[in-house]
């Protein structure tokens, strides 16, 4: 299929040229959001969309209805819909790894079994076979039928993984803490820095801890080192407590009761010493950063239960179906991706803030950083030719209102324009009153105020009217026209977080498709990994030290001089 093998150069299309003219016109006419709203009273409703329980308002973006038309034209010109269909059908759109990209199959209903054969595999049937095994296992653990080696019920999950094998589960676990109903808490260790493991195992009871080693490849240095450390910690602690005999059989039994694994490389899991019966597989067509709804989400199933995980999958599915079925001009998922291209490629905005007004979503920006930046931080297209425009955005953020007291100054008045996504939910599981005042409404008032202030600003005239000394007026002026998207959900449920993740997965896909890049490989992480292997011996070996560049050598010499 030509859309897979040969990217269409978006910059050479008539749609791109039209967008360029349109962007120049908006810039030269000193586009004003305030004027747009005055002139077009129905702007808010025309540019707002409801998908599932999410209400998404694009109206405070630097766009007009013409922008929507032109962006949809661009999407069609680069074959976005064909590429989307190719992805859902399991074509190998991950060209540099020659793989299908089928995270969308992870949430297809069991009734779809037999309808998606990829590389000889009945993808949906296999997905449900693993889901079924995970649900059975989780039920046994949650009900106390599966215990630790001393017979105690499992109360802690220690999940070891990094990148996509960590960020998704942590983020969703944090987001759905109110739904953790079986007395099982999860702790996540990712960093190879020994401080991470040391601090996080301090409060854990080894007799009631289940360790999940999560690694797609089962070769990742950090995860394997941490898994070995966890094994030592668990076995030593059980032995010191007198609940484990010092025999190979007793140790093997303890590992069997306290260690499970999630991986695509089940042979390597077995080599590590984890019983293959306690391993849950997934497939190379699931990218690490797209894997939270695969077996990688096992910790979530343990903490929240199979029923909640099913609701989580339904949230993804709802967005998938909407993304496939909705015409581009009305498809908010596609439009959000296209708007990001609009800002990056036509306005030169380089960063994008994600600002959840919900403390439970405090890891959402970190999760999105991997999803978006590992996917679209590329300098060549999927056929190996150089990209023809700026690609990738730097995603960053913190929950509101904390960010308001830290970096919002720059978003409001800095010289860089930073498009921002504001995310909030109508209801809270923790309603609280401060006197007569509903605290959640105080919070949501801030959510609304920030997007309003960013869009409409405050003019010099308004500042002068307040009696501000003339020399200080400009310091208090807000230019406005700072673009924001508001995403307002009803409740932060398993369904809603699934939908939110799928939304950003597809936004990332849309951007990559327009730029012609393979959003599913990650060669950019390899060089540093390789160099770390080469450098580490130089801490103690002079020959290895001598091969280093002067700067690295000097740093290692400093280390050697001060090492205790």
- For residues 414 and 389, the answer to whether their CB atoms sit within 8 Å is no
Active site residue 27: no
With respect to ligand F6P, which residue has the nearer C-beta, 215 or 278?
Answer: 215
Q: Provide DSSP, 98-130.
A: TB---GGGGGS-GGGTTS-EETTEEHHHHHHHH
**Residue 8 near residue 516 (C-beta atoms within 8 A):** yes
Q: Which residue(s) pair with 49 in the sheet? A: 56
Q: How far is the CB of 465 from ligand F6P (least distance, A)?
A: 54
Close Cβ partners of 449 (under 8 Å, ≥ 6 residues apart): none
The nearer residue to ligand F6P, 22 or 289, going by C-beta atoms, is: 289
Could you confirm whether 128 is annotated as catalytic?
Answer: no
From CA 298, how far away is CA 305, in angstroms rounded?
10
Output DSSP code: residue 154.
Answer: P
User: Which residue in 66, 330, 529, 557 is the catalytic one?
Assistant: 529
What's the min distance (Å) between Cβ of 37 and ligand F6P?
42
Catalytic residue among 202, 405, 533, 562: 405
- Judge if the upstream peptide bond of residue 401 is cis by omega within 30 degrees of 0: yes
**Rounded to an integer, what distance in angstroms lies between the CA atom of residue 242 and that of residue 335?**
61
Closer to ligand F6P by Cβ: residue 215 or 358: 215
**Cα 377 vs. chain centroid, distance in angstroms?**
14
Structure tokens at 206: 């080894």
Smallest gap from Cβ 32 to ligand F6P, in A, equals: 42
The residue among 196, 255, 248, 186 whose CA lies nearest residue 225 is 196
Q: Least distance in Å: CB of 122 to ligand F6P?
A: 24
At closest approach, how far in Å is the CB of 265 from ligand F6P?
8
Q: Report the residue number, 91 or 222, with the smaller CB distance to ligand F6P.
A: 222
Please, is 453 exposed, middle or buried when counting C-beta atoms within 10 Å of its C-beta (0-12, 13-18, 19+)? middle
Q: Is 486 left (phi over 0), alpha (psi -120 to 50) or beta?
A: beta
Nearer to ligand F6P, 95 or 150 (CB): 95
Question: Which of residues 215 and 331 has its CB atom nearest to ligand F6P in the complex?
Answer: 215
- Which residues on neighbouring strands pair with residue 484, listed in sequence order? 420
In 261-305, alpha helices (H) = 266-272, 298-304
CB of 490 to ligand F6P, least distance (A): 31
CA atoms within 13 A on the CB side of 209: 24
Please say which residue, 288 or 483, places its beta carbon nearer to ligand F6P.
Answer: 288
Q: Which is nearer to ligand F6P, 178 or 377 (CB)?
A: 377
- Shortest distance, CB of residue 288 to ligand F6P, whole angstroms? 3
Nearest distance from C-beta of residue 296 to ligand F6P, angstroms = 8
Give the whole-angstrom CA distance, residue 369 versus residue 273: 33
Nearer to ligand F6P, 164 or 480 (CB): 164
Q: Which is nearer to ligand F6P, 262 or 538 (CB)?
A: 262
What stretch of H or E contains 420? strand 420-425
Q: Residue 470 class from Cβ within 10 Å (0-12 exposed, 13-18 middle, 19+ buried)? A: exposed
State how far the Cα of 39 lies from the Cα of 69, in Å rounded to an integer.
19
DSSP symbols for 377-388: --SB-TTSSBPS
Token pair listed for 389: 């425009």
Catalytic residue, chosen from 374, 393, 505, 511, is 374
What three-state secondary structure class fits 399? coil
User: Catalytic residue at 231?
Assistant: no
d(CA 124, CA 102): 10
Q: What is the contact surface with ligand F6P in residues (CB under 6 A)? A: 162-165, 215-217, 220, 223, 288-289, 374, 522, 525
> What residue number has its CB nearest to ligand F6P?
288
Minimum distance from residue 167 beta carbon to ligand F6P (Å): 8
Q: Where are the beta strands (DSSP E) in 206-365?
A: 209-214, 259-263, 279-281, 351-357
HSE at residue 409, side-chain half, CA atoms within 13 A, is: 5
* Closest distance of CB 312 from ligand F6P, Å: 19
CA distance 246 to 410: 60
Q: Tokens standing for 377?
A: 């931080």
Task: Quote the least distance from Cβ 405 to ligand F6P, whole Å.
Answer: 33
As a whole number of angstroms, the distance between CA 117 and CA 221 comes to 34
C-beta of 294 vs 484, nearer to ligand F6P: 294
Query: So which residues are the catalytic ones?
Result: 374, 405, 529
């Amino acid at each position: 299929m030509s859309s897979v093998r040969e990217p269409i150069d978006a910059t050479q299309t008539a749609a791109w040229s039209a967008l360029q003219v349109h962007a120049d016109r908006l810039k030269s006419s000193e586009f004003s959001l305030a004027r747009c709203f005055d002139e077009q009273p129905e702007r808010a409703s025309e540019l707002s969309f409801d998908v599932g329980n999410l209400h998404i308002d694009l109206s405070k973006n630097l766009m007009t209805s013409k922008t929507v038309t032109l962006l949809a034209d661009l999407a069609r010109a680069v074959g976005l819909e064909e590429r989307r269909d190719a992805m859902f059908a399991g074509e190998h759109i991950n060209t540099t790894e020659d793989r299908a990209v089928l995270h969308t199959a992870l949430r297809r209903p069991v009734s779809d079994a037999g309808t998606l054969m990829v590389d000889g595999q009945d993808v949906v049937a296999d997905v449900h076979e693993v889901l079924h095994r995970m649900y059975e296992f989780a039920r046994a653990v949650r009900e106390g039928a599966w215990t630790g080696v001393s017979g105690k019920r499992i109360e802690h999950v220690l999940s070891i993984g990094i990148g996509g094998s960590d960020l998704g589960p942590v983020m969703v676990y944090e987001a759905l803490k109110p739904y953790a109903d079986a007395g099982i808490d999860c702790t996540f260790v990712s960093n190879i820095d020994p401080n991470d493991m040391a601090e996080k195992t301090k409060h854990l009871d080894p007799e009631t801890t289940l360790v999940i080693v999560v690694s797609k490849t089962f070769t990742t240095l950090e995860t394997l080192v941490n898994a070995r450390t966890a094994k030592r910690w668990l076995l030593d602690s059980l032995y010191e407590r007198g609940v484990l005999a010092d025999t190979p059989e007793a140790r093997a039994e303890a590992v069997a009761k306290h260690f499970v694994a999630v991986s695509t490389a089940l042979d390597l899991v077995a080599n590590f010493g984890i019983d293959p019966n306690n391993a849950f597989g997934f497939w190379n067509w699931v990218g690490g950063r797209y894997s939270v709804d695969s077996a990688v989400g096992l910790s979530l199933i343990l903490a929240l239960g199979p029923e909640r995980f099913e609701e989580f999958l339904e949230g993804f599915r709802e967005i998938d179906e909407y993304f496939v079925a909705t015409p581009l001009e009305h498809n908010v998922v596609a439009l959000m991706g296209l708007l990001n291209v609009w800002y990056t490629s036509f306005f030169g905005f380089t960063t994008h803030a994600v600002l959840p007004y919900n403390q439970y979503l405090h890891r959402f920006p970190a999760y999105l950083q991997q999803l978006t930046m590992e996917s679209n931080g590329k300098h060549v297209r999927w056929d190996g030719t150089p990209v023809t425009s700026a690609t990738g955005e730097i995603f960053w953020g913190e929950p509101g209102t904390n960010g308001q007291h830290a970096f919002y100054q720059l978003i409001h008045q800095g010289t860089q324009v930073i498009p921002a996504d504001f995310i909030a939910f109508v209801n809270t599981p923790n309603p609280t009153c401060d006197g007569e005042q509903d605290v959640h409404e105080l919070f949501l008032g801030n959510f609304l105020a920030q997007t309003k202030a960013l869009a409409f600003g405050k003019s010099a005239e308004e500042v002068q009217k307040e009696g501000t000394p003339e020399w200080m007026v400009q310091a208090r002026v807000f230019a406005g026209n700072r673009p924001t998207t508001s995403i307002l959900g009803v409740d932060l449920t398993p369904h809603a977080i699934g939908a939110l993740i799928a939304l950003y997965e597809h936004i990332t896909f849309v951007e990559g498709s327009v730029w012609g890049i393979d959003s599913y490989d990650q060669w950019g992480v390899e060089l540093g990994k390789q160099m770390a292997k080469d450098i580490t011996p130089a801490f103690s070996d002079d020959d290895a030290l001598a091969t280093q560049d002067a700067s690295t050598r000097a740093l290692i010499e400093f280390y050697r001089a001060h090492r205790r």
